[in-house]
Amino acid sequence: MATTITLPLPSKLYEIDYYLWIESTLKQLENRDAENLDWQHLAEEIEALGIEQRRKVESYLKQLLIHLLLCRYWESEKANCQRGWHIEICNFRDELEFSFRSKTLYNYFLSCVQDVYIKARRQAIQKTGLNSEIFPKQCPFTLKDILNNDYLP
């Protein structure tokens, strides 16, 4: 006698076993079983995925800008830290480049540079303990500088 496993309703499955919900939803999509999809949670997950991708762009950009600022303005630490900063700058540029395989994420990057710079500036001020007047209020780096693998301040 074969045993049948009964799955909870899709919306309940999401709450009970998220990974099983993902597997079940994927199978439903592959089978074009639109009738049984948990549309509410699927829409929420797709939206969250987009938000997470934009958040990654912001995070990598912020870290890149912080390190560019440290290289340019933190003279007292430059001799000891510059090599490490340069490595981090290259790493963050690589991560952004991976994200920019999506034209939409590249366009998002273009739209958020100044807002992210404000946060990077604040963190660079906190990290260095330098006077805030040393760091420009507007991003001192061009878009070309930010993304150019050969540019180091």
Vertex 63: Cα angle to 138 and 130 (nearest 5): 60
pLDDT greater than 90 at residue 44? yes
Residue 28: name the closest of 3, 10, 49 by CA: 10
pLDDT of 116:
98
For residue range 70-105, list pLDDT tens digits in order.
999 999 999 999 999 999 999 999 999 999 999 999
Let me know if 65 is exposed, middle or buried by CB neighbors in 10 A (0-12, 13-18, 19+).
buried
Residue 10 has pLDDT above 80, yes or no: no
Domains in the chain: boundaries: 53-147
Residue 50 has pLDDT above 70, yes or no: yes
For 17-42, what is each residue's pLDDT tens digit?
Answer: 888 888 999 999 999 999 988 899 99
